[in-house]
Structure 1
Amino acid sequence: MDADLTRSAQAGDVTALGTLLVRHQAGMRAVALSLLGHSPDVDDVLQDAALTALRRIGDVRDPSAVGPWLRMVVRNACRTRLRSMTYPLSVEELALVAPDLTPEQQLDHHALRDWIWHAMEQLPPQTRLAIMLRHFSTSVTSYQQIAAACGVPIGTVRSRLSLGRARLADALLATADSAHGDASALVAASEQEARETLAAAERGEFSAVLDERWSPEVALLGGPEPIIGHDFLDRGMDSDLSAGVHQRVAHVVASRDLAIWEMDMLNPADDPEHCPPAVTWLMSLDNGRVQQLRLFHPPRVSGLTPEPVNQ
């Protein structure tokens, strides 16, 4: 039964995945309770695990082992919650994840990804941004980090995530039979734009990029009042480059009107603490032009500081 449901879920049947989650709900909750105790976080973790299962069901190599895989997803979600950082898979857990997929499985995996992103596009931008950070970014994933990056209280993050998951489930059902665009193409285009932006800045042409691709009334958010226009952004980038600080694209997440660029910041060798080791650009777009920007520096993680730039 599990094997048939898993294969159906991997082929894009959200009803089959829902049935699997119901069948294994008791075991998943037991794992969460054993690690978190009787905490309000248990329900949040189970919601996180359900969305992770939706995104990664295509990774299950042995469909009959989906029960242990779901419990592993919950266990990792609990550890993430406890440690406020991603917990790496153990060797025994990796055995449940396919190292390579057949061409048919790759197509199913990509179709599922495109379906998820098509459904996510139906969510309001603020709700979608919270889910994008929580489940698709690599450095801004905890409730505290998302709250700080978005400039809202943690309670608001919880509400947006809870509402977003519920609406996403409805959107998935509503869009199951729709045509789904290529989500990877959108991400690839945004990543290319990020790389071109940094390359132009290195050539002293950042202002030209701002003029071409950003609204003239772009608002930099995060301070007591928004800072409007290009001048402050241009001066900030020029100041970093003059100090020998460079940025490198690390990860990109994008939807039709939101983009998240996660950057490593490379400090000069003679001043390795000049800037934090990373910065995340959170951008709202209208017709492809950036309208709003937030810059967030994730906390420094020991041992993971990017290498300095040698002069």
Structure 2
Amino acid sequence: MPLLDARSDLQLLEAHRSGERRAFDELVRRHGDRLWAVALRVLRDPEDAADVLQDALESAYRRAAGFRGEASVSTWLHRIVVNKCVDRIRYDRARPPSGYGHPHRVPVGRDPAEGATTRLAVLDALAHLPADQRIPVVLVDVMGYPVAEAAAILQVPVGTVKSRCARGRVRLAGLLGHLREEGA
């Protein structure tokens, strides 16, 4: 996507801090799609993801003065979104929706819907991972972030991201084993 504003993210954040109204809009235009994708893949519900993303962007807008520059602006924005997702997961855990149970065993056929069915099964299985495993797996395996960037977003060591991803993948393999059996 071409830049409408040639300034760096940090320069835009500084301009926002100085009162330039459109500077933050440009940051959202640059990073909004990826922030949305993270929220949606972590939370699985478009309405929850939209609420969390709006809340995160409002928080970033208001708290831009608190940006310390210890990470990139993109990492800072992602961290805010991830924190808001964790808050929503905790809230939902305290109030589980009715009918939420064990993962469904969705049969996988040889028709064009096979890919969609598999994706839905994976999303369902991801929802059953604890948040400390789900979020690194989403960032690294689903969104394709490098482990080091995921570690910066999560503010944990690289080794922690690797171990949480490994544990999450083992759990996913158990939850999704039926796909291998049905594909055989």
Greater helix share, structure number: 2
Task: State the structure with bigger RCO (CA 8 A, min sep 6), 1 or 2.
Answer: 2
| Higher gyration radius (CA) | 1
TM-score, length-normalised on structure 1? 0.27
Greater strand share, structure number: 1
TM-score, length-normalised on structure 2? 0.44
